[in-house]
Amino acid sequence: MLAIALTLVGFLGMEIFSWAFHKYVMHGALWSIHKTHHQKQHGYFELNDVFSLFFGSIAVVLIVLGLENFDYRFWIGLGITLYGFVYFILHDILIHRRMKKLKRPSNHYLDGIARAHRAHHKSDQRDDSVSFGLLLVPRRYFRKQ
């Protein structure tokens, strides 16, 4: 039971941390890297992808450090990894269509997330964006349009 709780801490902690990091760091001091995500994409990868490598590295380090005894580091690292997987599926594949062969699902929750993300990308400027979360977005994006 503790393992599940710690995995959830890692997963939910990433949503909270990612929101703050996205709003205050990516749209702040590290805008020069993140702005590549707000510009027209010219290839499969963008400079912004280094953030995924950074967070993925943290998860790997935690998993490896906790592997010997399956302690809290392993389970929190697993939660971060699961969040990264969900992020990749929702954000990169379903919202930004990096794999064009898959169709967008018609699901109320996923539609709301996609609407919030489109609102976030209406601006290609550092200070004009809204809705910085992935899974937890303002309720207004779930209302019928």
21 Cβ contact list (under 8 Å, min separation 6): none
Q: Indicate if the pLDDT at residue 78 is higher than 90.
A: yes
pLDDT confidence of residue 145: 62
Question: pTM of the entire structure?
Answer: 0.89
Query: Tokens 């209302």 — which residue?
Result: 143
CB atoms within 10 A of CB 26: 21
Counting residues of the chain whose pLDDT is more than 70, the rounded percentage is: 95
Which of 72-81, 90-99, 109-118, 133-142 bottoms out in mean pLDDT, i.e. has the lowest? 90-99
Check residues 82 and 89 and name the one with the higher pLDDT: 82
3-state helix, strand, coil in the chain (%, to 5): 70, 0, 30
Cβ–Cβ < 8 Å for 90, 117:
no
Angstrom CA distances, 75 to 6, 47, 60, 63, 101, stand at 6, 29, 11, 7, 34
What is the DSSP secondary-structure string of 45-74? --GGGHHHHHHHHHHHHHHHHHHTTT-HHH
pLDDT confidence of residue 39: 86
Whole-angstrom Cα distance, residue 63 to residue 10? 11
